[in-house]
Structure 1
Amino acid sequence: MMEWTILGAGALGCVIAGQLHQKGEQVGFMLSERHRGHFHPKLDLITLSGSHQLINSQPRFPEHSRKVECLLVFTKAYNVLDALKELRHLPKSTPVILFNNGMGLTEQVKALLPDNPLLAGVCNHGAMKEQDWLVRHTGKGETWLGPLNEAGKAWAHLVKPLAAALGHTEWGDDIALHQRRKLAVNAVMNPLTACNNISNGQLLEPRFSEVLEQLTDEVYQVIARLDGNDAETKEAYRRRLHQVIEQTATNSSSMQQDLACGRKTEIDYISGYMLTHADGLPVPVSQQLYDEIKKREDSMQRPAPGAKRQA
């Protein structure tokens, strides 16, 4: 039986690992050096019904990469390349599936791993990390899998075990279309909730109605132009966005959590991607949110006034 190796033990990676394990699949976590020598407890997964499931998983480290049979990448977008570079012994035949947020990494990963089958996964399940090795599955959604290079096209059969574990899972030859559909939601929810330090559901409060409408229009224009003939209508997009906000009302976006905890965000791969592809379209709200989050990130990296720098 093939082992699924999860790179990135965040909320969604842990939930996917738990779901696969519950269906009898073998799962391992590829861990960074900071985890070496630590005790690795069982993953405690809180299911949609509220029950606790203890999940056994095998801890892996870069020297084990030669035995990786299928790699699922859930690291933060800005860590993907560095994390993959650590896996120097990864077999060229091993499929690598990118599940990271945002867009803009495909060409760089292709250059780094020119021979590996490369795929992208778009997973709309809700997940929340409550503490180390304790994650909550907060909602079910669609999952899409598709190729990023020619070699990736031979791995469509992975849809079957993923569907058994996750529910609705389909193959998409144009996986970038599904990536953009998810980006269109994240490019509204993530920066707005992060800048205002609010939960997803609070976006529907009257005080945010004007900026939500302006940002929705900006994002739709950019994504619709990228989608071309496959673009959804503005009304369909607006309904989909509001449905996600309502379904995840009590959740906090990953960007809100990162900014609130003083961590780097994935803004460059979400709003940054939008701005790069605006090509003359007016996107003032997206630009303002991007600038504000970059400003806050920069301030977190600077030492406080009077603080001594480490030699």
Structure 2
Amino acid sequence: MREWTILGAGALGCTFAALLKARQQPVSLLLSERHRGHFHPAFEFIGLNERRRLVSTHPRFAEQAAGIDCLLVMTKAYQVLPALTGLRGLPADTPILLLHNGMGVAEVVTRVFPHNPLLAGVTSHGALKEGPWQVRHTGKGETWLGPVNERGKDFAHLQPLLATALGHAEWSEDILSRQHRKLAINAVINPLTACHDIRNGQLHEPRFADVLAQLSEEVHGVMTRLGETDTLAQFRRRLNSVIELTATNYSSMHQDLAHGRPTEIDYITGYVLQHAGDLPVPVCRQLYHEVKKQGG
């Protein structure tokens, strides 16, 4: 592989670009039309050690899709399909790695790009956009990737390349389960913090004890219905651990709502509601409508 192309020049996409570049791996950023003509030649990256450095990447636009070797998709979930369908020249043998929040997108991408190797990933790295072309890495985490279709199984060699840059990356043949795990955590933390305008750690305040208990029970029930085997106690331990580890962070949904941007509620809580069947999920449903009402 000659170059990673990152679609989604947001906080996390730029953070991945900076980490890959630090390991001398070539990276291009696939930019939207609004960046044409006024793209900054470099962005400022603030590492976990507070060191600042300028990161230069190769800018690429949709009409240059024919030259993409490996496409790492890190846009918001609702942006994935519109962005990908604009890449009409994307070669059929170019692997597409989806690394966005939420679920429900891969099924559509599979239909639109039936010949491309398709992979999915989850990451717990944290990043924050502090200004135009200024990004802060706020937390190091795990990254998992795995195949969505048969052709995706031939690209396990991407894992060590990511591991070298990110500090951790592992391959999983059952990436769906990893996605379910992350979605379940997000379906509790994101809408609650967004609706109440709080940091993640504030969910451990006594006032949230009851809603946290009921919401985690609802989400766990749906995950069990989808075939996941964690007990409710195991899920709550993981949830509490994530809340503690990200206590000072604002969730992505909180940030989107606070800045008047669309949220990924349809691909997180919406996914839970879609797969609930006859399970009662009143808190999930209430939070979904509340986020939508606030503009999400």
What residue in structure 1 maps to residue 233 of structure 2? 235
Q: Is the 8 A contact 1:102 1:183 kept in 2?
A: yes
Q: How does 1:163-182 map to 2 (within 5 A)?
A: 163-182=163-182
What residue in structure 2 maps to residue 141 of structure 1? 141
1:47 aligns with 2:50: no
For structure 2, the 5+ residue unaligned runs are none
What residue in structure 1 maps to residue 292 of structure 2? 294
TM-score (norm 1): 0.93
What residue in structure 1 maps to residue 276 of structure 2? 278
1:15 aligns with 2:15: yes
Partner-residue secondary structure (3-state), 1:297: coil
The amino acid that maps onto 1:251 is N
- The C-alpha deviation readout for 1:109-130, integer Å capped at 9, x for no partner, is 0111011100001111111111
130-139 or 192-201: which moved more?
130-139
- The C-alpha deviation readout for 1:62-112, integer Å capped at 9, x for no partner, is 011110000000111111100001111111110000001100112110111
Matches of 2:149 and 2:168, distance apart in 1? 24
Alignment coverage as a number of residue pairs: 296
Q: Is the 8 A contact 2:41 2:57 kept in 1?
A: no
Runs of 4+ in 1 over 6 A off after TM superposition: none
Partner-residue secondary structure (3-state), 2:5: strand
What residue in structure 2 maps to residue 118 of structure 1? 118
Q: Is the 8 A contact 1:40 1:59 kept in 2?
A: no
What residue in structure 2 maps to residue 255 of structure 1? 253
RMSD of the alignment, in Å?
Answer: 1.1
Matches of 2:260 and 2:134, distance apart in 1? 21
The amino acid that maps onto 2:32 is S
Q: Is the 8 A contact 1:43 1:55 kept in 2?
A: yes
Q: Which residue, out of 242, 245, 248, partners 2:243?
A: 245
Matches of 1:39 and 1:274, distance apart in 2? 38
Matches of 2:67 and 2:39, distance apart in 1? 22
Matches of 2:45 and 2:224, distance apart in 1? 37
What residue in structure 1 maps to residue 198 of structure 2? 198
253-262 or 289-298: which moved more?
289-298
Q: Is the 8 A contact 1:44 1:133 kept in 2?
A: yes
The amino acid that maps onto 1:223 is M
What residue in structure 2 maps to residue 29 of structure 1? 29
The amino acid that maps onto 1:26 is P
Matches of 1:227 and 1:98, distance apart in 2? 22
Matches of 2:182 and 2:69, distance apart in 1? 28
For structure 1, the 5+ residue unaligned runs are 299-311
Q: Is the 8 A contact 2:145 2:170 kept in 1?
A: yes
How far off is 1:15 after superposition?
A: 0.9
